[in-house]
Chain A
Amino acid sequence: MTDLSPSASAARRLDPVALLALAVVALAYGRAIWFTPPEATQGFAQKILYVHAPAAWVAFLAFGVTALAGAFWLFLKDQRLDRLAESSAEVGVIFTTAVLVTGPLWGKPVWGTWWTWDARLTLTLFLWFIYVGYLVLRGVIPGREQRARYAAVVGILGALLIPFIHLSVYLFRTLHPLPVVARPEGPAMPAVMVTTFFLAFFAFTLLYVAFVRARIALAVERDALDDAVVGG
């Protein structure tokens, strides 16, 4: 019987990255709530930006990592790459869900509607569909090698698809606020807001790393358990 204890304890130990991420998240939102002034026209609703935009960034980062890890897996056939792709996709879907939930919460008071078929909204919704499909596909394939191979194909094609959906939905129409921070003329935002904004980005990126690490530890345990059952 394979000894499961090393990986099992690794998953249960508190990850220092997770602790750091939680601390920075607390810092960023403490700052966002008490030390950053509300926006003049949008009022308190604007504060959701500090969740919404960083979550969207993490979603794109996560799916990019999934595609790259899948592509490298096809050449290297290293199981760790597949676990990274799997974990990153799952965390990406969670953050995309956060984007899709916080968007309407802001849209109702500011735009007057929960949902609109705006380009960015539509793109995010399709991103969610693509990667939920990716996770469903992973779920129905029992063989580890076959699952990694199929997932790599869908991950790569999904990343290729994003610019096409982006182009089509933009041509359809757009209403979403244009970038106010990342623009060539510099941020159109008071410095105090920009600082909070970047702090929130940093916090979410750390959170992403912590989540993916925890999810990989889980995948390692699952694989070890599978091996133990098959081997024993």
Chain B
Amino acid sequence: MSAPGLLAAAWLIARKDLAIEFRTRSAFLSALVLSLLAIVIFYFAWDPTAVGAGDLAPGVLWVTFTFSGLLGLHRSFGVEAQDGAMDALLIAPVPRQAIFVGKALANLAFVLGVQAVALPAMVLFYDVGVGAAWPALIGVMLLAAIGLVAVGTLFAGLTANTRLAELLLPVLALPFFVPIVMPAAQATAKLLAGRPLAESFAWLRILLAFDLVFAYACMLVFPATLDD
């Protein structure tokens, strides 16, 4: 059997991660429950007679996704810590970048899975009228998830080998989520308010540029975070 190429190897690694996650489901369920809890608790954090639930929905949604995403990202390299699994990955005859792409793909599936449940829950609990904005909203979610996962996967790998990993990951990654959360929340607010998609183009451009630049840059520097 010959060594697989970058994408084939990445696909294998992603499938391996997802298989582990599917069999235990512990991280996915925790992240999901955390999202739902956050949505519910946030509802009681302000005066509902002063601010409408729909006005706060975009902010709550994006804060929730960011934190539940971090939970999943932390796990992605945590599973490799046992039984020297990371060393086995490193001596596998695959390009180092394939490890990053594979991990990122699995994390993307994880984050999108949480969003697929949390977004409808949000719409239901906060009584948000999405209407014709569904496809655009899903597009914003997807764009934001790609950037979040690219940066998050890199920092998860970087912090996994340090003490304080679970503390350090949010401290390092959250400033990097600013140009994701801000455009995504602003675009979501405009879409939920029934404004046309064209009004959000300036925000979506930032999101798209961030995805392209950071997906590539993170893949490029990822090998420097691996310890031989």
Contacts and interface: CB of A to CB of B under 8 A. Distances in A.
A30 interface: no
Interface stretch (A160-168, A179-187, A202-210): A160-168
B221 A156 contact: yes
Interface size band for A? 20 to 34
B179 to A, nearest CB: 4
B203 A164 contact: no
Nearest to A149: B224
Contacts of A164: 178-179, 206, 209-210, 213
Interface string B210-228: 1001100110010011010
Given A136-B168, A150-B158, A160-B213, A167 B176 contact: no
Label chain B's interface by main secondary structure. Answer: helix
A168 B185 CA distance: 12
Label chain A's interface by main secondary structure. Answer: helix
Contacts of A168: 178-179, 182-183, 206
B92 interface: no
A156 B178 CA distance: 17
A172 B202 CA distance: 11
Given A130-B175, A133-B171, A153-B158, A171 B203 contact: yes
Nearest to B158: A150
A149 B179 CA distance: 25
Interface residues of B, number: 32
B194 to A, nearest CB: 21
Contact of B175 (A153, A161, A171): A161
A156 to B, nearest CB: 6
B181 to A, nearest CB: 9
A134 B214 CA distance: 18
A167 B206 contact: yes
Interface string B164-175: 100010011011
Nearest to B218: A157
A129 interface: yes
Nearest to A148: B224
A167 B205 CA distance: 10
Contacts of B213: 160, 164
A67 to B, nearest CB: 12
A152 B227 CA distance: 14
Contacts of A140: 162-164, 168
Residue among A129, A150, A168 having the largest count of chain B Cβ atoms under 10 Å: A168
Given A140-B164, A149-B225, A168-B206, A154 B158 contact: yes
A161 B218 CA distance: 12
Contacts of B159: 137
Given A136-B171, A167-B179, 13 more contacts: A74-B224, A126-B175, A133-B172, A137-B159, A150-B224, A150-B225, A153-B154, A153-B158, A167-B206, A168-B178, A168-B183, A169-B182, A172-B186
Interface of A: 74, 126, 129-130, 133, 136-137, 140-141, 146, 149-150, 152-154, 156-157, 160-161, 164-165, 167-169, 171-172
Interface of B: 151, 154, 158-159, 161-164, 168, 171-172, 174-176, 178-179, 182-183, 186, 202-203, 206, 209-210, 213-214, 217-218, 221, 224-225, 227
30 contacts: A74-B221, A126-B175, A129-B175, A130-B175, A133-B175, A136-B171, A137-B168, A137-B172, A140-B162, A140-B168, A141-B162, A146-B227, A149-B225, A150-B162, A150-B224, A150-B225, A153-B154, A154-B158, A157-B214, A161-B175, A161-B176, A164-B209, A164-B213, A165-B178, A168-B178, A168-B206, A171-B183, A171-B202, A171-B206, A172-B182
